[in-house]
Chain A
Amino acid sequence: MLKGKKGQPFYKDFWFWVKILIFVVFLLFLVYPFYTLVVNSFYSTKADGVTLYNFQRFFQKKYYYQALGNSLKISLIPTLLSVLIGVPMAYLQTRYNIAGKTFWHVLIILSLMCPPFLGAYSWIILFGNAGIVTKFLSNLFGFQMPSIYGQGGICAVFTLKLFPYVYLYVSGAMGSIDRSVEECAENLGSGKLRRLLTVTVPVVTPSIAAGALMVFMTALADYGTPGILAGGDFRTLPTLIYNEYLSETGGNANLASAISMIIVIIALVILFIQKAWVARKNYTMSALRPPQIIEYSGVKRFLVTLPVAIVSLVAFIPQMVVVLCSFIKTNYSNFVFEEGFTFEHYTELGRSLTSQIQNTFVYSTVAILFILILGILMSYVIVRRRGKTGGGLDMLMMAPYVIPGSVLGLCYIVAFNHLGTTADGTVIKLTGTAAIIIISMIIRKMPYTVRSGSAYLMQMDPSVEEASVNLGVSPMKTFIKVTARLMLPGVLSGAIISWVTCINELSTSIMLYTGKTMTITIAAYTNIVRNSVGTGAALASILTLTSGILLIIVFRASKGKVSFV
């Protein structure tokens, strides 16, 4: 038997090998590709050896550094606006008897889960240059809508799309403030508004910060929305990465790598600022008595319900518009809908886009199987077998937040484009295969499952496992017979969220796809960009419908307790 320190037996048990497996997976498909990207950013075809040429070029040419400023603007403004919308929404929903509370809640979650570019697309249909509302207003009143293209439009779309993060985090926190805390403030003589500003809001500040961080990161990383709403020469870092990658020859993508580095550094800086700020304000609270819900009736109830209904509906409009458009006849030559109801877009899908639909479901299903197995194991290791590597695992779980999808895509291209050459001269590579898209899905979307699974496990009494071991069942069998079985509800609800996000994935796969491995999101995106609106809408409707059904299943199964963020 191997001896560890202090002469104790050192069991190389099952979990030892699980940890090895997890680290190998992340080393191969996250650390190594990212390392390659970092190295790549310090080389250039225009200079010899290690060089800062790419970074110098970035900060010298307006074409590039302007994109940095744009990216910051379209991330910070929606973050601020999301807080302004999300916090009051959370307050109304948790403290008043809003009519149709659950319905609005589900609408908000649904609008969060669909790919952001669909929102952009719907707003173009409504408010674009030839949009329905735009035309209606100008024909009827001669009123000229402000342009939806460019910075303003992008910010608006991001805000409507991403405020649910703030809403979900904050309503979770507001629901777990013990009633006595606020009662105490009232007892000490605080008025309602004063109490809200001096007790309630400060106590939920960490949750506001967490939601705001998610908004910022998602907006910073998103490729599709600025891709569609760019309008002329409005560039952001993710669109720049994609363009540079396409224009740089030979696949060396040095400048794109450097831009990727810059975006990751911004994300890291924001993450650390947020963590440092929240660390000073961490209040743990478990509500023994959840806050009182104020029961209004009649006009008062209508007045508190109205803002919730308006915001939820506006956030959900994109999904409805997309589904409606998928049934309206279009004139293919330009961006115009004709009158009349049709199924032609769906028959078109059946004719020419079956492989894309098949790809989406096959890839996401294969990915989710791996995510389930790895996710269960990883949650367990993080919660119960942290050891010295626990911190490292936590950090790996943060990676998808700081590495935008398009950057991970670029990492894979740089790292796996040339793995070697066979005897007959064919280049061995992972890029262009279905495997690489599936792997990227696993790496990026697994955190949803792991976080849900580990949160669930955290609340499970460890002595249940010990009881099983004590009764003579080995730790590994105990894990299968008891622990994994009991973790399943938590892991499954997380896995469905992972699944939904895999189905809606765009920013990584758009870097990695080939004609053969195109998915629904890519097809929808390219169709929309090419103004083939009807087909795009039909594809997007499939996404919306699938996501919606999956989310409702998980919402029902978990009795609304699942965490979507």
Chain B
Amino acid sequence: MSHAVIIDHAVKTYGDFKAVNGISLQINPGEFFTLLGPSGCGKTTLLRMIAGFNTVDGGEIRFDDKVINNVPAHKRDIGMVFQNYAIFPHLNVADNVAYGLKARHVPKEEIPPRVEEALKMVQIDQLKTRKPNELSGGQQQRVALARAFVIEPSVLLMDEPLSNLDAKLRVQMRTTIKKLQRRLGITTVYVTHDQEEALAISDRIAVMNQGNIMQIGTPEEIYRKPANPFVANFIGVSNFIDCTVSSSGNTASISLPGDYTVSIPVSRDYNGEAILSARPEQLFFDEKGIPGKISMSIFLGDFIQYEVELVTGQTIELNEYTKDVGNIRNDGENVFISMNPNQVSLYEKESKEVLSC
């Protein structure tokens, strides 16, 4: 039975420093929810508050309707996968997985079949009698996973579980984790600083920075419609270009360097300084646009990455798909850069609030 996790103005302070600064969010039953952010953004702190290893210094954390602020960690019925696996070094694989079942006083005869089933799910049932020091990193990670979900917890927490694995294994394990989570339907809170991993694995993502939530949304929403320059820059790559906006109704006229003007659909009226945010693949070379000069081109197989120095002196990044073009442009070539107005984002210069819709 999976539960909703409701975080209501949660605060964690260390002295004067607010590691978690009044965060509110609601995680739906069975959802795969990721807390994403740079190191020190408070994501692990928040996860450990849910786990009960950090006290809640303000606000509430609820599982469905039940406030768990003061429930000791060992009574919260949570499964957790730790960054460095935290396998009990003195127990073999089967005993590691059985540990939580024994603590829950599951009848003795039920334990071996449940352990067996859990190990099968993560494909290490043949390693049952191995000691942890005889396992590879990936195998240890599978033990940690099996140990966390075998107790059928109401919530599953994962703290950067893939960060210690090599790149190839990481991709393989994240698919395993996602499939397993779908199959079991356990509400899962996942912490990572790897945006690609977050996009690949999550139903929804909360992007965090300095103890605050910058945006909550599906991977697609967060990538396509970043709510502020921080998210635009943290998820994928974005070029930020200063511009002036004058809007009337739902359309804004944007003046860009080199007297280039584009019209962008906006959600409200605004006149003044703004920041245009465009991803490298949202920009293209055109007959007219922002004038610039190619300073470097890198051929990366399926696409070509250009560095273009604009007339303002700013350098931006632009990607062209190899299949769409005939040849690679030369360094020093003069170009004009244009964009698709429906794809780029626009933010107020001062408040960094989003204008584009």
A interface list, Cβ under 8 A from B? 1, 6, 8-9, 11, 461, 463-464, 466-475, 478, 482, 485-486
Contacts and interface: CB of A to CB of B under 8 A. Distances in A.
Given A8-B56, A470-B79, A472-B74, 8 more contacts: A6-B57, A6-B58, A463-B82, A466-B86, A471-B147, A472-B103, A473-B99, A482-B88
A9 to B, nearest CB: 5
Contacts of B89: 464, 486
21 contacts: A1-B70, A464-B89, A466-B73, A466-B82, A466-B86, A467-B87, A467-B88, A469-B74, A470-B79, A470-B80, A471-B103, A471-B147, A472-B74, A472-B75, A472-B103, A472-B104, A472-B151, A473-B103, A475-B72, A478-B74, A486-B89
A467 B55 contact: no
Contact of A471 (B55, B57, B58, B151): B151
A485 B99 CA distance: 15
Contact of B86 (A6, A8, A467, A474): A467
Interface in B49-97: 51-53, 55-58, 70, 72-75, 77-80, 82-84, 86-90
A467 B83 CA distance: 11
B257 interface: no
Where chain A touches its partner, the secondary structure class is helix
Q: Tell me if B's interface is mostly helix, strand, loop or mixed.
A: loop
Nearest to B73: A469
Nearest to A475: B74
A470 B88 contact: no
B100 interface: yes
A9 B68 CA distance: 12
Given A461-B86, A463-B82, A472-B151, A8 B57 contact: yes
A472 B77 contact: yes
B5 to A, nearest CB: 15
B82 A9 contact: no
Interface in B270-297: none
Nearest to B70: A9
A471 B52 CA distance: 12
Contacts of B144: 467
Interface in B108-128: none
Contacts of B58: 6
B147 A474 contact: no
Nearest to B79: A470
Nearest to B82: A463
A263 B56 CA distance: 50
A376 B263 CA distance: 71
Interface string B224-253: 000000000000000000000000000000
Contacts of A1: 70
Nearest to A11: B72
Contacts of B53: 466, 469
Contacts of B80: 466-467, 470
Nearest to A485: B90
A452 to B, nearest CB: 19
B326 to A, nearest CB: 50
Contacts of B90: 482, 485-486
B36 to A, nearest CB: 21
Contacts of B86: 461, 463-464, 466-467
Interface in B132-163: 144, 147, 151
Contact of A474 (B51, B72, B104, B151): B72
Given A469-B73, A469-B74, A464 B88 contact: yes
B73 A8 contact: no
Nearest to A460: B89
Q: Which of B58, B70, B88, B104 has the most CB of A within 10 A?
A: B88
> 3 closest Cβ contacts across the A-B interface?
A471-B100, A463-B86, A467-B86
Given A464-B88, A464-B89, A470 B83 contact: no
Nearest to A6: B57
A461 B82 CA distance: 11
Nearest to A478: B74
A10 to B, nearest CB: 10
Contacts of A467: 80, 82, 86-88, 144, 147
B70 A470 contact: no
A385 B104 CA distance: 27
Given A461-B86, A463-B82, A470 B55 contact: no
Nearest to A13: B72
Contact of B55 (A8, A474, A478, A482): A8
Of B51, B74, B82, B151, the most chain A CB neighbours within 10 A belong to: B74
Given A1-B70, A474-B72, A468 B57 contact: no
Nearest to B55: A8
B100 A472 contact: yes
A463 B144 CA distance: 12
B173 to A, nearest CB: 18
Interface in B150-205: 151
A468 B73 CA distance: 10
Contacts of A468: 88, 99
A8 B99 CA distance: 30
Contacts of A475: 72-74
Contacts of A8: 55-57
Interface in B314-351: none
Contacts of B147: 467, 471
Nearest to B99: A471
A471 B82 CA distance: 12
B184 to A, nearest CB: 17
Contact of B74 (A6, A464, A470, A482): A470
A478 B80 CA distance: 16
A468 B52 CA distance: 13
Contacts of B87: 464, 467
A316 B70 CA distance: 61
A474 B51 CA distance: 14
A474 B88 contact: no
A264 to B, nearest CB: 37
A479 B82 CA distance: 19
Nearest to A476: B74
A469 to B, nearest CB: 5
B83 to A, nearest CB: 7
Contacts of A469: 52-53, 73-74
A463 B73 CA distance: 13
Contact of B83 (A6, A463, A474): A463
A422 to B, nearest CB: 48
Contacts of B51: 466, 470
Interface in B18-62: 51-53, 55-58
A478 B53 CA distance: 14
A461 to B, nearest CB: 6
Nearest to B81: A467
* Most chain B CB within a 10 A radius of its CB, from A463, A467, A475: A467
A13 B51 CA distance: 18
A461 B84 contact: yes
Contacts of A463: 82-84, 86
A470 B73 contact: yes
Nearest to A4: B55
Contacts of A464: 86-89
Nearest to B83: A463
Contacts of A472: 74-75, 77, 100, 103-104, 151
A482 B89 CA distance: 9
A1 B71 CA distance: 12
A473 B74 contact: yes
Nearest to A471: B100
A388 to B, nearest CB: 14
Contacts of B100: 471-472
Interface centre among B70, B77, B103 (most CB of A within 10 A): B103
Contacts of B55: 8
A6 to B, nearest CB: 6
A23 B84 CA distance: 35
A472 B57 CA distance: 23
